[in-house]
Structures are given as C-alpha cells and as structure tokens.
Chain A
Amino acid sequence: MQVKTVINKKRLQALFRHSVLISGALFLVMPLWIALMSSTHSPEALFREGLQFLPGSYGYETYSQILMGSDLLSAPAWRMLLNSLILGLGFAIGKVIISMIAAYALVYFRFPLAVPLFWMIFMTLLLPLEVRIIPSYEVVAKLNLLNSYTGLIVPLIASATGTFFFRQFYRSVPAELLEAARIDGAGPLRFFIDILIPLSTTMMAAIFIIMFVAGWNQYLWPLLMTTDPEYYSIVIGIRQVFQTLNEGGTLPQFNIAFGLTVLATIPPVLVVVIFQKMFVKGLVETEK
C-alpha cells in the first residue's frame, strides 16, 4: 500500500517536472517557430490571416528575394551575412589573441607597470561601449574609420572581458608546470607557445564561440558606425526592414521581415547548439 503511494507520488512529481519543462521549451521556441513558418507565406496571406504556425508554399520566393536583393533591403542578404561573418570572426579572433597575450603578461610577469595596467584593464569591464557610445563614434570618425571593418571591430575589443577569462584560467594552471619548464631551460616565449597554448585549446575554443556570437549579434555600434550598405550586418538589415514595415503605404512585407530575422538567428544558434558542451563549459568556468 505504502509502496504504491510512493510510486504515485513519484509519478506525479515527474509529470509536474515534464509539464514545467515542456511549457518552458514551448515558451522559448514558439516565437522563432512562428517566425520561421510565417516566412514561408506570402505577405497577402499574412495580412489576411495573421501569423502562421504551419509551413506555406511561399518560402522559395521569400528567401530568394532576401538573398538576391529586394527593394526593401539596400543590400542583398548574402552580403549582410558575409559582413556579419567578418564581424563575428574578426571580433572573436582579435579578442582571443589580444586577451591571451595580455593575460599572459599580467599573470606570469612582475613588471613595474603591471598594477596600474591591471586596473586600467579592469575598468573597461565596468563601463561597456554603450555608455560612451557618442564620443566613441566621434573618435572613430576623427580617425576616418567610419564604414570600415577596422572601425567596426577594434573598438568593440576595448572591453577586456576575454583578458579576465584567460587570467582566471592561467591562474588555475599548476605552478609545477612552470617550474618544470624553467628547469628544462624554457624562456617565457617557449613556455607560452609550447606549454600554455596547447593547455588552453578548450578554453580558446569556448571563448571563441562566445565572442563569435557576441560579435555577430552586435547592434548599437554597427548602427552608428555603418551608413554605407556595403558594410551592413544582417542584424542592421533587420532594423531596416522593421522601418519599412512601419512606413505604411504599400502592403507590409512581413514574410521578408521574418525571413531575414530567421537568417540572422540561425548561424549563431547553430554554433551554440553544435558546440553546446564546450560553450557551456567555457561560459560557466570563466565567470567564476
């Protein structure tokens, strides 16, 4: 009798858990699903019937218009995807290299300027680009870097999050390794290249993924920086379509808006889902 009630209680508990999780998953997935499905319907159908939950037959038209160019977009989406890729990769590569070497200098060396430099780097963590966005824009304009990949990417690297990730990681590397390397006669460069970098590969990959997603998703900075459609990223494209939706006059092209959003979302989501384990590990370990 008692055994039976225990089993029933366990079942009820499991039922509760699964319903909470299913509701949570639906809550998160439904908006993107609706965007994906609606992008395969014609603008007329969307206007008449509202948003769609099932696939339609207009997908080819929508996506070929987006990718090859449409009146709504000042650049075809392939170009914007390419720019987003350059932004994501440039940001991730730059950040990983610059923060790896900076963290190495800070952890493994005593040098006169180490303490003030450390505080200078720490300060950047407190104040994201957003609070000094207008003067940053002016500085980049003065340097003639508006509408360039350099101007797009380098100012974003000024925040030293990566340096702190690597600093934490290096500090967890056992001191015996350094001792052993020194006994074998390895200098600072040798130790870095032959020992520390091979030890850091997982960490580098994790930070690379986090930074790639962060770079791909940048919005406010590219919005100010790029006025030439040649340099628009796909996230900026979303804003452009959004504005044409609100202009009125002709029938709003909701399918294009949804399709472009889906295209902007798929690459970073795929990266995160495919490298899920590595990404979660990196995220959680570095923030400790």
Chain B
Amino acid sequence: MQSHPFKHSWVPYIFVAPQIIIILIFFLWPAGQAVQQSFYREDAFGLSSEFVGFLNYAEVLDDPEYTSTVLFTLLFSALVTVFSIALSLLLAVQANQVIRGADTYKTLLMWAYAIAPPAAGLIGGLLFSPLVGDLYQLLNNIGFDFNHNRNSSDAIFVVVLIAVWKQLSINFIFFLSGLQSVPNSVLEAARIDCPGAIKRFWTITFPLLAPTTFFLLVINTTYAFFETFGIIDLTTKGGPGGSTTTLVYKIYQDGFLGADFGGSSAQSVMLMVFVVVLTVFQFKFIDKKVHY
C-alpha cells in the first residue's frame, strides 16, 4: 500500500487540515498554556501574574495531600485493573464455552459498556446510601460499621466496586473475541497433550491471550486515571478527607473550584509527563514479554 502512494497533490493538505487545525487550537494551545501557567502565579483577582519559576511545582510536591492523591490514584488503578480484568476473563472463558443461552449471556454482560460513569456513580452511590441504600442496610446488619461518607476504606471500596462494575463489559468484549480467535486446531492439539482443563487454560490459552491482556492493561489504567471522574464526582466527591481524590479530580478541584491556576497547571503538566512515561514504559517493558 505505502509503496505506491499518490504524489504531488493538494489533496492530502486539504484532507489533513481540519484535524490539524482542531489539534492546534484545542490541544497544543491549551497544553502550551498549561506549561506556561505552571511557571506563573496570579494574584487573588486574576489581574496580574508574575513568573515564579518552579515554585508551583515545589509547592505541589511538598503538599502531603498531593502525595496521598498520587498514592490513591495508583492504588485505585491497580485495584480496578486487576479486579475488572480477572472477573471479565473468568466470565469470558465461561461464555466462550456454553452453548445454550450464549447470545443472551453476551448481551447481558456487554450492555454496561454504554452506561455513563456518572450514571453508574449515582446508582451505585444510592445503593450504599445511608438513607435508602439496601446494601448499606445489609452491610450494617451483618456487622460491618459501614458508611462511605465517613470511613475512607469504605469510600475506596465503593468507588472501586462501581468502577469495576462499569469496566467489566469492555474487558469482557475483548477477552471473548480474543478467545474466539484461538484456532480450533490449537485447542484440539492441546486437549490431547494436556488433559487437565485448568492447566490447559494457563499453559495454552492464556499465553495466546497475552496481547489482549496487555492491551486491556493499558486501556484499564487510562480508564482508572481519567474516565472515573464522573463516578467519583457522583459518589464520594473525593472524600472523606481527600481519600478518594484521583489526580484528575484534584486538578479539577484546585483549578476550577479553587481557582489556583498555577498549582493546577503544574499538576496537569506533571500528569502529562507521567502518562507519557507510563505509556512508553508499558510498551517498552511489558510489550516485550508478550508473544504475539
């Protein structure tokens, strides 16, 4: 394909222009602004700003709240990724092997892809609400002193559960299609060589799913970092005491609600750098261990 492209034409410039213009205005300009603002500090009225060097960065890094936000974000994305990948793999393996009701199961397990995170947050939050929540009643009746508005660990439990719930469907879709693309001949040969079903899964099938798992690892980390904003905003609002504040939630809180543009920009820039490093790391180190 690439060996015989069209040459000498105005067409590619016109065709690529809308995309590039949108990126320039709504990607590079804001990203540049974030970098610039991270070195400036505005006065209380937003009338003037002065160059402060790395002061905003130093303050953010010195802030114990920021450290706990980083730790929570890492813990949160690890929990969400591990549980949603493990559960969806279990479900996909079973769904791949049933005959009766297979299509119904698939539909019931993949529809939640389409639910908006805030909608999931609202429903999940109300299930655990002290006022009406059945799960709140249940947990307290069986002896837990449960209240996600007061206890940090309960709050973390609630946001992780809702985030996993919402993410199961997409992982399920990818695992199921990964399983369906394993050639039958491979499975038959495996059945002869390796009679134990569980051992067969871990030695033959799972390594064949490695590219899918790797891909889902990237997707789920991104999801936990960025797309869970709506879940957190409609359940714990980052509380109690900042215990469920993710990095993106803190940028929003400090920048939009707190009007600390310098600090929030410094956080944005650090998050951008972190995401780029993480992506490169995932591709360099994990990707190598995956056999395609």
Residues of chain A touching chain B, judged by Cβ–Cβ distance below 8 Å, are 13-14, 16-18, 20-21, 24-25, 27-29, 31-32, 34-35, 46-47, 50-51, 98-99, 101-102, 104-111, 113-114, 117, 120-121, 123-124, 126-128, 130-140, 143, 154-155, 157-160, 163, 170-171, 173, 175, 178-179, 182, 187-189, 213, 216-217, 219-220, 224, 235, 238-239, 241-242, 252, 254, 257-258, 261, 264-265, 268-269, 271-273, 276, 280, 283-284, 287
CB < 8 Å neighbour of B33 from A16, A51, A135, A261: A135
* Inter-subunit contact A175/B3 (CB<8 Å): yes
Secondary structure of the B contact surface, majority rule: helix
* Inter-subunit contact B122/A287 (CB<8 Å): no
* Inter-subunit contact A24/B109 (CB<8 Å): yes
- A63 vs B87: C-alpha distance in the bound complex, in angstroms? 35
* Inter-subunit contact B31/A132 (CB<8 Å): yes
* Inter-subunit contact B22/A128 (CB<8 Å): no
* Inter-subunit contact A31/B230 (CB<8 Å): no
Q: Does B126 make an interface contact (CB < 8 A)?
A: yes
- A21 vs B115: C-alpha distance in the bound complex, in angstroms? 20
**Apart from A51-B134, A104-B15, A108-B6, 19 more pairs, CB < 8 Å:** A17-B94, A24-B91, A25-B109, A27-B165, A35-B126, A102-B15, A111-B9, A120-B28, A126-B276, A130-B226, A132-B33, A135-B265, A155-B26, A157-B26, A158-B26, A217-B116, A219-B116, A261-B122, A264-B116
Known: A132-B272, A139-B26. Contact between A50 and B134, CB under 8 A? yes
Q: Please name all residues of chain B whose beta carbon is closer than 8 Å to the beta carbon of A135 when the two chains form the complex.
A: 29-31, 33-34, 37, 265, 268
Q: Please name all residues of chain B whose beta carbon is closer than 8 Å to the beta carbon of A32 when the two chains form the complex.
A: 112, 115, 123
* Inter-subunit contact A31/B127 (CB<8 Å): yes
* Inter-subunit contact A28/B251 (CB<8 Å): no
Q: Please name all residues of chain B whose beta carbon is closer than 8 Å to the beta carbon of A283 when the two chains form the complex.
A: 170, 173-174
* Inter-subunit contact A188/B6 (CB<8 Å): yes
Residues 4 to 26 of chain B near chain A (Cβ within 8 Å): 4-7, 9, 11-13, 15-16, 18-20, 22-23, 25-26
* Inter-subunit contact B18/A17 (CB<8 Å): no
Interface size class of B (residues with CB under 8 A): 35 or more
Known: A105-B11, A105-B12, A130-B248. Contact between A25 and B20, CB under 8 A? no
* Inter-subunit contact B248/A14 (CB<8 Å): no
Secondary structure of the A contact surface, majority rule: helix
Q: Does B117 make an interface contact (CB < 8 A)?
A: yes
- A91 vs B179: C-alpha distance in the bound complex, in angstroms? 32
CB distance from B98 to the nearest CB of A (A): 5
Q: Does B238 make an interface contact (CB < 8 A)?
A: no
Q: Does B51 make an interface contact (CB < 8 A)?
A: no
Q: Please name all residues of chain B whose beta carbon is closer than 8 Å to the beta carbon of A171 when the two chains form the complex.
A: 1-2
Q: Does B281 make an interface contact (CB < 8 A)?
A: no
Known: A31-B127, A217-B117, A284-B173. Contact between A242 and B110, CB under 8 A? no
Q: Does B203 make an interface contact (CB < 8 A)?
A: no
Q: Does B255 make an interface contact (CB < 8 A)?
A: yes
- A200 vs B148: C-alpha distance in the bound complex, in angstroms? 48
Known: A135-B30, A154-B22, A235-B119. Contact between A269 and B111, CB under 8 A? yes
* Inter-subunit contact A287/B215 (CB<8 Å): yes
Residues 148 to 165 of chain B near chain A (Cβ within 8 Å): 165
* Inter-subunit contact B256/A137 (CB<8 Å): yes
